[in-house]
């Protein structure tokens, strides 16, 4: 089976667009990605469209009414916070299977403000603990503290780093540096996650044009192509406590192991990572799950500065979900955009110098739901 390439990829600036519609946000990113590829909607043979908030609302077809109804097959995708990456992987699989040569993948979300989580029916909130996302990810941090003594300040440092990175990203929702005192003294949501250690609910969209190797060469697009070295997904394997507390680690470890194997490389070969920092506590746990440090060493790794721009393995130089924002269905493709931009050498002030291999990671899920994880490894051509 031949390789699959990204030949066009882009995202809109994440922000709040209450006057827009979900299909119009999707259309804007789709047109940006098509422009980046130098192609048009008539060149696309299929569309995979990821969105969570209107999962039953045929967002892909509605988007095509705004940019061209060419009659191509549309698959609407929903998979929690892995929605965009799932749409991207579906496009990759369709080309890998030899069904199409050129496929468009879009991720889009329009969100309100405030706490996510909870479920339908009578509320158990406060009575049976909390069903909020910040509380779920607080547990993940506190478990790390129990096992390894990781401190509030080490978790807070993740937010300091990612908010600093976002000052160099014009497409980030926030671009404000936050010293550690500011992070630690902002409103405590669920210990140890303060407000500045929680990702931002925003509106956003991102899109990618994927292409077979044969078609890419035929059209002479190698100057803008980025090779997809690995595309992997997983769900949560059984872990004994996961019905009581969320677990995003098991699924991440499965997908990471398979992705490194598919690419024929190890974590030491990766030059930058965009990982799912929905909360500051999550980023440290995923350092270990993705194998960039040993179990228990994540606190020391953030302290060392290795994951900051200029360090050994920069993580979330886009600003991450914490600062760039987390429009659920768009996040997966936005992470791919960030890594692809570095591999093309176009990341400007925040460029990771010499980047040839990069990894993207997203996980989605909720209380009592389970986990979807997607990992991609991209390579400079």
Using CB under 8 A as the binding rule, whether residue 358 contacts other proteins is answered as no
The token pair at 354 is: 């010499």
Task: Name the minimum Å distance from CB 155 to other proteins.
Answer: 12
> Is there a catalytic annotation at residue 278?
no
Residues 6+ apart with CB under 8 A from 308: 161, 164, 165, 314
Using CA atoms, how far apart are residues 360 and 357, in angstroms rounded to an integer?
A: 10
When asked if residue 139 is in the footprint of other proteins (CB under 8 A), the reply is: yes
Nearer to other proteins, 191 or 300 (CB): 191
In whole angstroms, how close is the CB of 190 to other proteins at the nearest point?
5
Q: How far is the CB of 117 from other proteins (least distance, A)?
A: 8
Beta pairing, strands 74-77 & 46-50 = parallel
Indicate the residue among 242 and 341 with the shorter CB distance to other proteins: 242
Separation CA 257–CA 276 (nearest Å): 17
Active site residue 373: no
Candidate list 97, 127, 220, 354; residue touching other proteins; CB under 8 A: 127
CB 17 within 8 A of CB 76: no
For 6, list phi and psi in degrees, rounded to 5.
-90, 125
* Sole binder of other proteins in the list 19, 71, 122, 354 (CB under 8 A): 122
Choices 5-13, 181-189, 265-273, 372-380 (CB under 8 A): range interacting with other proteins: 181-189
192 contacts other proteins (rule: CB under 8 A): yes
Pick from 16, 43, 93, 191 the residue near other proteins by CB under 8 A. Answer: 191
188 vs 265, beta carbon nearer other proteins: 188
275-302 core/surface letters (b: 16 or more CB in 10 A; e: else): bbbbbbbbbbbbbbbbbbbeeebbbebb
Query: Least CB distance from residue 240 to other proteins, whole Å?
Result: 6
295 binds other proteins (CB under 8 A): no
Q: Is 72 in the site for other proteins (CB under 8 A)?
A: no
The nearer residue to other proteins, 194 or 307, going by C-beta atoms, is 194
- CA trace torsion 316, 318, 323, 324 (10° rounding): -130
In the region spanning residues 203 to 242, those forming contacts with other proteins, defined by CB under 8 A, are: 238, 240-241
Catalytic residue among 326, 342, 361, 376: 326
Among 51, 86, 130, 212, binds other proteins (CB under 8 A): 130
Radius of gyration of the chain (CA): 19
Question: 321, 276 in Cβ contact below 8 A?
Answer: yes
Name the segment binding other proteins (CB under 8 A); options: 34-42, 49-57, 74-82, 133-141: 133-141
Query: Does residue 201 contact residue 15 with C-beta atoms inside 8 Å?
Result: no
Number of residues that bind other proteins (CB under 8 A): 32
The C-alpha atoms of residue 75 and residue 105 are separated, in whole angstroms, by 10
The catalytically annotated residue of 49, 81, 278, 373 is 81
3-state secondary structure of 207: strand
Tokens representing 291 are 């194998």
**Euclidean distance between CA atoms 298 and 216, whole angstroms:** 40
Interface residues with other proteins (CB under 8 A) are 115, 118, 122-130, 132, 134-135, 138-139, 141-143, 146, 187-192, 238, 240-241, 243-245
- Catalytic positions are 81, 326
């Amino acid at each position: 089976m031949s390789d699959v390439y990204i030949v066009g990829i882009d995202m809109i600036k994440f922000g709040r667009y209450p006057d827009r519609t979900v299909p119009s946000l999707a259309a804007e990113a789709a047109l940006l990605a098509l422009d980046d590829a130098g192609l048009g909607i008539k060149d696309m043979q299929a569309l995979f469209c990821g969105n969570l908030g209107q999962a039953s609302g045929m967002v892909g077809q509605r988007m095509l009414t705004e940019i061209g109804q060419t009659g191509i097959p549309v698959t609407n995708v929903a998979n929690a916070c892995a929605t965009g990456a799932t749409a991207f992987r579906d496009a990759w699989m369709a080309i890998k299977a030899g069904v199409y040569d050129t496929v468009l993948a879009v991720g889009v979300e329009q969100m309100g403000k405030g706490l996510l989580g909870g479920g339908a029916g009578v509320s158990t909130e406060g009575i049976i603990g909390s069903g909020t996302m910040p509380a779920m990810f607080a547990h993940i941090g506190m478990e790390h503290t129990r096992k390894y003594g990781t401190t509030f300040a080490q978790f807070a440092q993740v937010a300091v780093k990612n908010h600093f990175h976002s000052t160099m990203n014009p497409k980030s929702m926030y671009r404000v540096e936050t010293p550690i005192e500011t992070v630690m003294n902002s409103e405590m949501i669920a210990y140890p996650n303060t407000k500045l250690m929680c990702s931002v609910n925003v509106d956003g969209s991102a899109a990618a044009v994927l292409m077979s190797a044969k078609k890419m060469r035929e059209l002479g697009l190698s100057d803008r192509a980025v090779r997809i070295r690995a595309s992997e997904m997983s769900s949560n394997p059984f872990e004994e406590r996961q019905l009581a507390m969320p677990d995003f680690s098991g699924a991440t470890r499965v997908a990471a192991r398979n992705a490194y194997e598919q690419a024929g490389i190890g974590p030491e070969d990766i030059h930058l990572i965009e990982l799912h920092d929905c909360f500051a506590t999550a980023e440290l746990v995923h350092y270990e799950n993705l194998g960039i440090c040993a179990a228990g060493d994540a606190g020391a790794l953030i302290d060392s500065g290795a994951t900051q721009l200029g360090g050994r393995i920069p993580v979330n130089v886009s600003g991450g979900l914490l600062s760039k924002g987390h429009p659920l269905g768009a996040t997966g493709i936005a992470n791919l955009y960030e890594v692809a931009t570095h591999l093309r050498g176009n990341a400007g002030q925040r460029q990771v110098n010499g980047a040839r291999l990069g990894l993207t990671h997203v996980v989605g899920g909720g209380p009592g739901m389970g986990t979807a994880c997607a990992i991609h490894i991209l390579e400079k051509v």
